[in-house]
Structure 1
């Protein structure tokens, strides 16, 4: 009889150990499963990158077909030209700072005054503020000619 009691106590102890072990394993499996699910959700979210503005841009708000502005961004330089049907004239050449974060971006371009000094239609400014609007994929800046200042808006050429 004592042996049966001892066997019964041992069986209960083994059952309790198995139950606690199973609960502990289940909890860590659930926790690990949740961590994996959380990690996979984080990695599937798209990572926004800074815009690449290198390339050719053309004015979208020109008053007519007779004259517009075109720009080209290459490396660390931006060049803006007046474009007419039969001629192209330099307006601006200066530094370009590429975006370092996603979204809107602005930079102050330092003009190459030596190159612009010999161009009749070039800006007389030492610096010029350029703005990139991510929502419209648009570059804008102010241009002054013959006493009139306009905001030039440009989009990438297709």
Structure 2
């Protein structure tokens, strides 16, 4: 009887030692598997960190006002609607508006607010030929960059770069 008990104890000891000497791969297989909900939750939490946010599409429609004015009482204001831009000289605190430019805007398809976008606007001479303070240029170069539209404006022999920011 003592021999049977000794053999049983030795067998149990051998099994215990064999169980402790398994490989990491065996250990990983023996670990309880996470529930399917737990498995799918971990990758979803990591995915946003890997994805970069998509840049907002560029849409120039709206009202833009010059930011580098020499007076609080006078500025330039542009209104862009679709493929048309109208720019006015504004004075008397906004009570007086005189046409400076009426022209075209190129499509912004595929552009984002982070892009630099430039276009040559063709003058709508039906409008500007009748306006005393309007530009007589056939085309005018415009650039959108960092939330601003810029162009050169000339009056009375002086040329200045005008920078506009959207107000609405």
> TM-score, structure 1 length as denominator?
0.69
1:25-57 CA deviation, whole Å, 9 max, x = no partner?
Answer: xxxxxxxx9xx88xx469832222431111000
CA contact (8 A) 1:76 1:95 kept: yes
CA contact (8 A) 1:52 1:98 kept: no
Matches of 2:58 and 2:167, distance apart in 1: 15
Unaligned segments of structure 1, at least 5 residues? 1-21, 23-32
- Counterpart of 1:83 (choices 79, 90, 106) is 90
- Counterpart of 1:143 (choices 146, 153, 161) is 153
Count residues with an aligned counterpart.
123
1:95-148 CA deviation, whole Å, 9 max, x = no partner?
Answer: 0113232211111100101210000000010100011112xx111100000110
What is the aligned partner in structure 2 of residue 132 from structure 1? 144
Matched, 1:56 2:68: no
1:51-90 CA deviation, whole Å, 9 max, x = no partner?
Answer: 1111000010011023210000001101100001231000
What is the aligned partner in structure 1 of residue 20 from structure 2? none
Unaligned segments of structure 2, at least 5 residues? 1-28, 30-39
Matched, 1:97 2:95: no
Matches of 1:42 and 1:110, distance apart in 2: 45
> TM-score, structure 2 length as denominator?
0.65
What is the aligned partner in structure 2 of residue 119 from structure 1? 131
Q: Which is higher, the Rg of structure 1 or of structure 2?
A: 2
What is the aligned partner in structure 2 of residue 44 from structure 1? 51
Matched, 1:156 2:166: yes
* Structure 1 runs, 4 residues or longer, greater than 4 Å off: 40-43
Question: 1:151 Cα shift?
Answer: 0.3
